[in-house]
A and B are shown apart, each in its own frame.
Chain A
Amino acid sequence: MPMLDIKNLTLEIDNGSTRVKALDKVNLTVNSGEIRALVGESGSGKSLMVQAISGALPPQWKVTADRMSWHGKNMLSMTAKERRELMRRDIGVVFQDSITSMDPSMTLGQQLEEAIPDELVNGKWFWQRSLDRRKTAINTVHKVGIKNHKHYLNAYPHQVPTDIGQKFMIAMALISQPKLLIADDPTRGMETTTKTKVLKLFTRLNQTKSLSILFVSHDLLAIASMSHTMTVLYCGQTVESGKMKHIRKRPLHPYTKALIDSAPSFRADLPPKSVLPSLDGTIPSLQHVPIGCRLGPRCPRAQRACVSTPGVRRIHDHTYSCHFPLHMEKL
């Protein structure tokens, strides 16, 4: 049974007169012990997905779903307290804007120690417990690759560079030893060496502690190196979902193909300085989403049928929604 199971999640936002579907029937499952990548460009609704799962959406936005369950328990009908308990103990979230999502009036050390649940602290008396908290905090900070812990634990969020903030955010999510880690673009703007370290940490935690990870990013190189399965999101619609190696080898949806083509590292045969294949145009804004398949106006294979939303089709465990998928002749 999947750990986190979301089916047909729809998020509607009222903007004055009209109602916009920011997420339109999105499906996502995360099995235990799996690294699932959620890929999409900015404005595709990846971060909204993260917020919908973590319950951090403004109350006036309407979330409906056929199914949204955690280990078989319905998340939508939970009370606020149960939901918070779940987020506290079982799910760790790394938010996108690390520095701004931390408390500006507390030092990083205080915030990190506060995030340690009581049952993970050893010691009987308060001084023993506070020492133990400190020790756990330092250990976790070292684990995410911050060396100068003395300096950074006593610093305030505005005093640290962004990459340290990102690492602290990861440390804060990991310190309560969650079962699922939701990482919203954790490696954005990091240089390659740091990025590799963070990704290795994630892989190791996945292997040793069987931590499930929902890795939200558009960095395909990072995703391809670590994740087992992948879900591609475009403009609030799930486009394709399946095993990483199948998708990479044979993407069925034109958008997935464009996304994979956009990373020159995937193609050794690409001559240097040649023109990269790319889709025309940019992602439409939420006010002007096209009807039917939202890729429609940018899609090289679009035909008349594309004005109606394609249903989800399935080949083994590879699902896609496209009327005219690629590579069909080979199947």
Chain B
Amino acid sequence: MSELMHVSGLTFRHSDQKRWLKKPEVFALGPIELTVKRGETIAIIGENRAGKSLLAKLLVGAIPADEGEIFLSNVMYNAAKKKSTKSYNSSNDIRMIFQHSSEAMNPGIPVGRILDEPLKLNTELSESERKTLIEDILVKVGLLRDHYYFYRHMLSDGQQQRVAIARAMVLQPKILVADEPFAALDPSVRSQTVNLILKLQKELGLSFIFISHNLGIVRHIADRIIVMDGGQIVETGKTETIFRWPQHEMTKKLILAYQSLVPQQTLATSE
């Protein structure tokens, strides 16, 4: 497995001064050090307000960081905002699936155009080439070619999630970042989505970084886990290691809370 992304010293500060004399509430993220290998699945877990969503947004560049560097396949991908550089470099190698995938889609345009927009903005392809590409990707995520003409409200939850994945995949990224991709989904649709992501990973060698509260799924699909607390990465490690021998207080808390829910006797009697 080769190294695909290397993050070093990524920091972000947010201070929120509401009143003149009041002490400002400062939220600082990082410095974050992180490497992502090809085909690897990384899960980010932690409590609310630990900075998980923020980290995901910083990684894809949706929010510019204050300091730090991100190397994406050995090309520097400018995450930090610097006054000297006029625009920061964009990259097609990393894409994001947002938290509420259905609300992150424009209800006024059909699925085809939703998927067309990133292609129009980022590639030089002609219209017919774009259309074949979109149809291919629709089939790949388990939809039909006809869904090109569907609007958001005509699709079910699971299908909307598939469109969200298709939109992230259409530029053929190497890394997919997802913020709570499974939280809003029903159990049967959730299993379908998990299966889809596993399939796509196997076929295309994608790296997948996701945030989840559902530790059952984390345990099932993640290779490596990052535990965050108060804007810091407090522990990283292989999934089994984290689940069996948690070191940090926060990790212990999360894992114990999860394990207290898992019924012990099912482990023995499951068929």
Contacts and interface: CB of A to CB of B under 8 A. Distances in A.
| Most chain B beta carbons < 10 A, residue from A163, A224, A272, A285 | A272
A331 to B, nearest CB: 15
B140 interface: no
19 contacts: A41-B186, A41-B189, A42-B186, A163-B48, A190-B213, A193-B253, A196-B261, A218-B187, A221-B216, A259-B188, A263-B187, A264-B219, A269-B270, A270-B220, A272-B219, A275-B198, A276-B194, A276-B195, A282-B157
B194 A221 contact: no
A159 interface: no
B221 interface: yes
A281 to B, nearest CB: 8
A161 interface: yes
Interface in B27-74: 46-48
How extensive is the interface on chain A, given as a class? 35 or more
A100 interface: no
Most buried by A among B156, B188, B195: B188
A282 B189 contact: yes
Given A41-B188, A275-B199, A276-B220, 7 more contacts: A225-B261, A225-B262, A248-B263, A262-B188, A263-B216, A264-B217, A275-B198
B48 A266 contact: no
Describe A's contact surface by its main secondary structure. loop
Question: What bracket does the count of chain B residues touching chain A fall in?
Answer: 35 or more
A193 B191 contact: no
Contacts of A225: 260-263
Interface class of chain B by DSSP = helix
Contacts of A279: 188
A279 B195 CA distance: 12
B1 interface: no
A193 B227 CA distance: 14
B188 A272 contact: no
A259 B47 contact: no
Contact of B188 (A192, A282, A285): A282
A266 B17 CA distance: 47
A1 to B, nearest CB: 30
A191 B180 CA distance: 11
A283 interface: yes
B254 interface: yes
A270 B216 CA distance: 11
Nearest to B240: A272
